[in-house]
A and B are shown apart, each in its own frame.
Chain A
């Protein structure tokens, strides 16, 4: 029963090539005559370049060419920032691919060597001498915004790239009238995305054709083509970007990087293919990081725990330069979500985007929403503690009541649909919340340090209406397109502009077509990732691929169905309005035996022997889907932890997630996204945080120091879901890619704080590493 494929957890169609080691990622691709690039990177976080002498490298074994900023200056244009937040006095200082005069973070590119092998290219780097004049360094985004801080860019006073303000209601009055106010400063450290596949670029320039082909680890090949055109000046239609197999991205493969521009430059200069693949150490230094927020937050509430206001001042680190989408992350994707799932009538916030001497910061899984959810959920717990009520109950009394088609919040946006209380109830019930609290009381009586953390969340995803994108300064559209093409044998290709890289849409997209047209999933092949054979699209990020690209496929499939209905009517000699459709068959109403299958239709449309007057041959449809609104998935999560007060070590014992992402096309894949998302949010609560020292050197420079979640540190995640369809989406879908990451950081953080509360500990900065927890316990014991 093919139609039932939609909504079932069938195994993924992309897996056979992956589990057998037969898939080709960028670094796996070999072109004859390929040369290898290695990039010399600044060891200083902030320095003037007085001179670069590359002559020593030129004669090294295997070296074909060495280029510096002098060579690229005027040939490569600067890297553009593509999210120009309006009304924020945004400054976009130049971002050259290879630094010529000044470096602004450790890892800034200074020169490139092209050699016959990567080993040789690395050897030659050691023979380039650069005379640096070190400058003062600033790492903290708040410190960077102060008068007298070292200035990264001449025309950016106080390093403030932009100031974005938000106001809804009358926040000052809310705080003046509040019976209860709580406040805290929340630090969200820099996070390193760590897709397991390092970034890579392979450029092949054809001088004869004036064509550039770029294999690239990107989440959005069409955007990469557009920006490659901007940076290299090769016309857009002469550039082909191919995202082959891509090994995870989590946002870090959205931006356009200097490295791919440099690789393309080298190929264009030398006329041969050139490949560059980052080492993991390079990845830690140069690939965009996430978060880097210092959030000063206050919440106002009644004595009964009803929230009346929220006020924030946020310093968001941008790193040395503005990455492609960076300004949109701590503003549009962050501040607009300050109401969360709660009724908060009065909200105001100011966000400073600040240059600091570190890797550029951009979208990282959740992008802005984890930072918003963290501060909200922290404040709600503080309110609960202040009014002496259970944190779950305080959440319940503030949740927006169930709505099915639109709810406006004080930040000015309209949620699509929500049933937040049901999600909370489901989660409390799945976790056995009352029993948990009883067990906790017993554990405390036994001298054990057990904590239960609760959080509710709503997120904005399915980005988004293009008109809104334009209004908020995004330098592109946010629609998606799809082409469905049936062949004479009844098999079909679906070409999409989005570019999944692990999310399984080769399967879910085929399930959509199967569901809409009654064909077998195996008769549908999804093509993505190559700008030469896919229609335009804006990429895979922001939990938007199934939501937006999937909708385009559904719309295209419905066009196919209507043409098929007309052709079936013609072949069955009936009126189109008398044709019924069921499960891949078109039949005359009342005579199911008189039918044409979709395969019959595909054959006839392709041979076109007998078409109705005026109907074009072929069975193909394309659709451009521009969503009317964002989608707003939501849920509630609970974590149980035990802290060892002697050491400060934390044991995450249980994690319960209830998510509502609307209609699910493949529940197995949805669950997998929740597992991975939750764990990626547990990381920053307990282990992950990039640390730069006062000189701007990355102390956590490898996987030896930056603690990623490992299998043996985690419990099984207990996952379940509710279904509240999106009212405006053709399939009722919302999106699930980021939900877990958004919810789990505050859930685990709140659990640990809950465990530590009897010891008198009220706050600890993330990540909650053992020593920090141990110190907080000792400080509290010693009277704070």
Chain B
């Protein structure tokens, strides 16, 4: 009961034969081998699996791979080459916006969309924009600072 799918991930076409029930996050991790996207819960609450799906952030644990066939996905591995960092990555680093790092890819992907919609958010707006992503380590404070900092670096203000 497998079906062929093709999804463009970080600009590269990824095809495979998958079970119709497979969740997109498992395709990204197992089939495409991109393990930066994490699974942190099973109720669509924690946001560690956040990716960009056809241009908007989505929780990849709440999408079937078959639903996404034909779509385009960007993961944490796709926002920079890992050396020349994305301003958000740089800002998370500079502001100690992470501790264990497990929520970080999803947090950065969610923040990326937040800044795309609101290039100059207030701290309050950042806190609301990240309401779908749970971090247990940082108390969020340095994450908020990091996003604020990235907004400035990205020309928001």
Inter-subunit contact A675/B138 (CB<8 Å): yes
Inter-subunit contact A196/B123 (CB<8 Å): no
How many whole Å from A187's CB to the nearest CB in chain B?
23
**Most A-side CB within 10 Å, residue of B42, B75, B89, B100:** B100
Inter-subunit contact B21/A21 (CB<8 Å): no
Given contacts A248-B137, A668-B96, contact A119 B41 (CB under 8 A): no
How many whole Å from B112's CB to the nearest CB in chain A?
12
Contact stretch, chosen from A23-31, A177-185, A690-698: A23-31
Among B41, B85, B98, B102, point to the contact of A280 (Cβ < 8 A).
B41
Inter-subunit contact A194/B98 (CB<8 Å): no
Given contacts A20-B89, A21-B76, A711-B144, contact A503 B134 (CB under 8 A): no
Inter-subunit contact B136/A703 (CB<8 Å): no
The reply on A476 being an interface residue by CB < 8 A is no
The reply on A362 being an interface residue by CB < 8 A is no
| Alpha-carbon gap, A23 to B108, bound state (A) | 15
| Alpha-carbon gap, A362 to B139, bound state (A) | 23
Q: Which chain A residue has the least Cβ–Cβ distance from B88?
A: A19
Tell me if A's interface is mostly helix, strand, loop or mixed. Answer: loop
Q: For A727, list chain B residues within 8 Å (CB).
A: none
Q: Which chain A residue has the least Cβ–Cβ distance from B22?
A: A119
Inter-subunit contact A675/B139 (CB<8 Å): yes
Q: Which chain B residue has the least Cβ–Cβ distance from A682?
A: B139
Inter-subunit contact A18/B43 (CB<8 Å): no
Q: Which chain A residue has the least Cβ–Cβ distance from B19?
A: A119
How many whole Å from A645's CB to the nearest CB in chain B?
24
The reply on B48 being an interface residue by CB < 8 A is yes
Q: B113-136 toward A: CB 8 Å interface, digit per residue (1/0)? A: 000000000010011101101111
The reply on A247 being an interface residue by CB < 8 A is yes
The reply on A11 being an interface residue by CB < 8 A is yes
The reply on A501 being an interface residue by CB < 8 A is yes
The reply on A594 being an interface residue by CB < 8 A is no
| Alpha-carbon gap, A26 to B48, bound state (A) | 16
| Alpha-carbon gap, A709 to B136, bound state (A) | 8
Given contacts A119-B22, A196-B103, A196-B134, contact A717 B40 (CB under 8 A): no
The reply on B11 being an interface residue by CB < 8 A is no
Given contacts A19-B104, A20-B36, contact A504 B99 (CB under 8 A): yes
Q: A1-26 toward B: CB 8 Å interface, digit per residue (1/0)? A: 00000000101101111111111110
| Alpha-carbon gap, A711 to B131, bound state (A) | 6
Which positions 77-105 of chain B face chain A at CB distance < 8 Å? 77, 80, 82, 85, 89, 92-94, 96, 98-105
Q: Which chain A residue has the least Cβ–Cβ distance from B108?
A: A19
Q: For B43, list chain A residues within 8 Å (CB).
A: 280, 702-704
Given contacts A19-B101, A710-B134, A711-B130, contact A281 B139 (CB under 8 A): no
Inter-subunit contact A196/B46 (CB<8 Å): yes
Q: For B134, list chain A residues within 8 Å (CB).
A: 194, 196, 703, 708, 710
Inter-subunit contact B92/A702 (CB<8 Å): no
**Most A-side CB within 10 Å, residue of B33, B38, B126, B128:** B38
Inter-subunit contact A247/B100 (CB<8 Å): yes
The reply on A480 being an interface residue by CB < 8 A is no
Among B85, B126, B135, point to the contact of A20 (Cβ < 8 A).
B85
Inter-subunit contact B80/A676 (CB<8 Å): no
Given contacts A250-B136, A702-B43, contact A669 B96 (CB under 8 A): yes
Number of A residues with CB within 8 Å of any CB on chain B: 58
Inter-subunit contact B40/A502 (CB<8 Å): no
**Most A-side CB within 10 Å, residue of B105, B126, B139:** B139
Inter-subunit contact B99/A676 (CB<8 Å): yes
Among A15, A248, A714, point to the contact of B140 (Cβ < 8 A).
A714
The reply on B35 being an interface residue by CB < 8 A is yes
Inter-subunit contact A21/B92 (CB<8 Å): no
Inter-subunit contact A25/B102 (CB<8 Å): yes
Inter-subunit contact B93/A676 (CB<8 Å): no
Which positions 12-63 of chain B face chain A at CB distance < 8 Å? 19, 21-22, 29, 33-43, 45-46, 48
**Most B-side CB within 10 Å, residue of A14, A27, A198, A710:** A710
The reply on A679 being an interface residue by CB < 8 A is yes
Among B77, B102, B105, point to the contact of A248 (Cβ < 8 A).
B102
| Alpha-carbon gap, A709 to B135, bound state (A) | 8
How many whole Å from A490's CB to the nearest CB in chain B?
25
Among B76, B96, B139, point to the contact of A714 (Cβ < 8 A).
B139
Which positions 206-248 of chain A face chain B at CB distance < 8 Å? 245-248
The reply on A716 being an interface residue by CB < 8 A is yes
Q: For B77, list chain A residues within 8 Å (CB).
A: 20-22
Inter-subunit contact A24/B35 (CB<8 Å): yes
Among B42, B100, B142, point to the contact of A196 (Cβ < 8 A).
B100
Q: For B99, list chain A residues within 8 Å (CB).
A: 248, 502-504, 672, 676
The reply on A354 being an interface residue by CB < 8 A is no
Number of B residues with CB within 8 Å of any CB on chain A: 56
The reply on B143 being an interface residue by CB < 8 A is yes
Inter-subunit contact B139/A198 (CB<8 Å): no
The reply on B67 being an interface residue by CB < 8 A is no
The reply on A195 being an interface residue by CB < 8 A is yes
How many whole Å from B127's CB to the nearest CB in chain A?
4
| Alpha-carbon gap, A714 to B138, bound state (A) | 12
Given contacts A16-B93, A20-B76, A20-B85, contact A680 B136 (CB under 8 A): yes
How many whole Å from A97's CB to the nearest CB in chain B?
24
Inter-subunit contact A19/B92 (CB<8 Å): yes
The reply on A197 being an interface residue by CB < 8 A is yes
Inter-subunit contact A280/B36 (CB<8 Å): no
Q: For B135, list chain A residues within 8 Å (CB).
A: 196, 711
| Alpha-carbon gap, A245 to B105, bound state (A) | 14
Q: For B22, list chain A residues within 8 Å (CB).
A: 119
The reply on A678 being an interface residue by CB < 8 A is yes
How many whole Å from A712's CB to the nearest CB in chain B?
5
Q: A168-189 toward B: CB 8 Å interface, digit per residue (1/0)? A: 0000000000000000000000
**Most A-side CB within 10 Å, residue of B21, B43, B99:** B99
Inter-subunit contact B36/A717 (CB<8 Å): no
Q: For B130, list chain A residues within 8 Å (CB).
A: 711-712
| Alpha-carbon gap, A680 to B141, bound state (A) | 13
The reply on A129 being an interface residue by CB < 8 A is no
Inter-subunit contact A19/B93 (CB<8 Å): yes
| Alpha-carbon gap, A530 to B76, bound state (A) | 27
The reply on A610 being an interface residue by CB < 8 A is no
Q: For A27, list chain B residues within 8 Å (CB).
A: 35, 39
Q: A610-651 toward B: CB 8 Å interface, digit per residue (1/0)? A: 000000000000000000000000000000000000000000
Inter-subunit contact B139/A679 (CB<8 Å): yes
Q: Which chain B residue has the least Cβ–Cβ distance from A666?
A: B96
Q: Which chain B residue has the least Cβ–Cβ distance from A23?
A: B101
| Alpha-carbon gap, A740 to B75, bound state (A) | 34
**Most B-side CB within 10 Å, residue of A248, A281, A677, A702:** A248
Given contacts A11-B94, A119-B21, contact A18 B136 (CB under 8 A): no
The reply on A279 being an interface residue by CB < 8 A is yes
Q: For A678, list chain B residues within 8 Å (CB).
A: 139
| Alpha-carbon gap, A23 to B98, bound state (A) | 13
How many whole Å from B139's CB to the nearest CB in chain A?
3
Inter-subunit contact A676/B75 (CB<8 Å): no
| Alpha-carbon gap, A669 to B108, bound state (A) | 20
Inter-subunit contact B136/A708 (CB<8 Å): yes
Q: For A717, list chain B residues within 8 Å (CB).
A: 139, 141
Among A15, A198, A702, point to the contact of B39 (Cβ < 8 A).
A198
Q: For A250, list chain B residues within 8 Å (CB).
A: 136
Report, nearest first, the 5 A-B pairs whose CB atoms are least far apart: A21-B36, A247-B102, A18-B101, A502-B100, A679-B139
Interface residues of B (CB under 8 A from A): 19, 21-22, 29, 33-43, 45-46, 48, 75-77, 80, 82, 85, 89, 92-94, 96, 98-105, 108, 123, 126-128, 130-131, 133-144
11 of the cross-chain contacts (CB-CB < 8 Å) are: A11-B96, A19-B101, A20-B36, A24-B35, A28-B29, A196-B100, A672-B99, A675-B141, A710-B140, A711-B135, A712-B128
Given A19-B93, A502-B101, 13 more A-B residue pairs with CB atoms under 8 Å apart are A19-B89, A21-B34, A247-B101, A247-B102, A280-B41, A503-B99, A669-B96, A675-B139, A676-B139, A703-B41, A708-B134, A708-B136, A712-B131
